[in-house]
Amino acid sequence: MSTPATDIATYNFAYLDEQTKRMIRRAILKGIAIPGYQVPFASREMPMPYGWGTGGVQVTAAIIGPDDVLKVIDQGADDTTNAVSIRAFFQKVADVAVTTETAKATIIQTRHRIPEHPLTEGQTLVYQVPIPEPLRFLEPRETETRKMHALEEYGLMHVKLYEDIARHGRIATTYAYPVKVEGRYVMDPSPTPKFDNPKMHMSPALQLFGAGREKRIYAVPPFTKVVSLDFEDHPFEIQAFDQPCALCGAEQVYLDEVILDDKGGHMFVCSDTDHCETRQACGHRGHLSPDILEPAQ
């Protein structure tokens, strides 16, 4: 078999065979029709280990077309191993254009962050989900959790939040913070920081969630209500940072701590690398930006 001129690998387009993609698309459509409901699907073996985004990759493979522009982020960064290898994978098996710019992408596969740049209509955010069941750690039986979803018995979710307050004086859950979708299903937004929960609410972008090992797909269609659970006297709050990004000076964004040396030196920088780079290119500077040091030399 000769290699096509497009230099696409001799796999089927986007790695999965057409029947599999069809099966996954049906699960996605069902998920979109019932926002927040976990649709079982026949998850395939992918050429990567579980936990590296097999669910997200299958969802992306099922929806990607030759005209799509793909962005992959891992904890907000475009340049970490997971993001680089998934991006390379789709370049190889689907020959699609890739980008690191949020605004240019049509499909963004993400591991645990929603980009800082607001998403727009027509964009699709694909989450890699390790454990799709928000009730799992309190109720180990799958038969029981399914029944609880079916009968809308979500008291247990508040038991978890109650425990947080009893132990820590506040809701100490900072990621995988449970949300209620369109007033019906309680959903685990994958381990994104709760900082990003408000971005899911009425988002113009389509949000798809794929859990490869657990074989579940769920979805939040555009402009859907996503409400974080809380108590009347302990309302939902997002993380706040006391200092801006050390490189671009951005405020009201999610920051990562970066260790600088073994003497306790550290700095906080944007977790969304594209956002940080874009701001720096526009001339924004933080207190540790290299440019600030230059005048002293």
Of these residues, 31, 76, 210, 270, which one is catalytic? 270
Q: How many residues bind other proteins (CB under 8 A)?
A: 19
Q: Is 231 in the site for other proteins (CB under 8 A)?
A: yes
What's the rounded Cα separation, in Å, for the pair 24 and 41? 7
Q: Is 234 in the site for other proteins (CB under 8 A)?
A: yes
Nearest distance, CB of residue 254 and other proteins, angstroms: 27
Give the residue carrying structure tokens 């996954």. Answer: 24
The burial of 2, by beta-carbon neighbours within 10 Å (0-12 exposed, 13-18 middle, 19 or more buried), is given as exposed
What track of x and - describes contact with other proteins for positions 148 through 177 (by CB under 8 A)?
Answer: ---x-x-xx-xxx-xx-xxx----------
The candidate with the shortest Cα–Cα distance to 268, out of 20, 76, 52, 10, is 76
Supply 1's token pair.
Answer: 């078999």
The candidate with the shortest Cα–Cα distance to 286, out of 238, 240, 253, is 253
Cβ-contact 58, 16 below 8 angstroms: yes
Q: Is 69 in the site for other proteins (CB under 8 A)?
A: no
Whether 276 sits among the annotated catalytic residues: the reply is yes
The burial of 55, by beta-carbon neighbours within 10 Å (0-12 exposed, 13-18 middle, 19 or more buried), is given as buried
Nearest distance, CB of residue 40 and other proteins, angstroms: 21
User: Which listed residue (45, 67, 233, 262) binds other proteins by CB under 8 A?
Assistant: 233
Q: Is 236 in the site for other proteins (CB under 8 A)?
A: no
What's the rounded Cα separation, in Å, for the pair 87 and 103? 17
Compute how many other C-beta atoms are within 10 angstroms of the C-beta atom of residue 281. 9
Of these residues, 31, 53, 212, 248, which one is catalytic? 248
Nearest distance, CB of residue 101 and other proteins, angstroms: 41
Nearest 5°: the CA angle 245, 246, 249 is 50
Nearest distance, CB of residue 190 and other proteins, angstroms: 23
Nearest distance, CB of residue 197 and other proteins, angstroms: 18
Of these residues, 36, 55, 212, 249, which one is catalytic? 36
Whether 282 sits among the annotated catalytic residues: the reply is no
Q: Which residues are catalytic?
A: 36, 245, 248, 270, 276
Interface positions with other proteins (CB under 8 A): 138, 147, 151, 153, 155-156, 158-160, 162-163, 165-167, 230-234
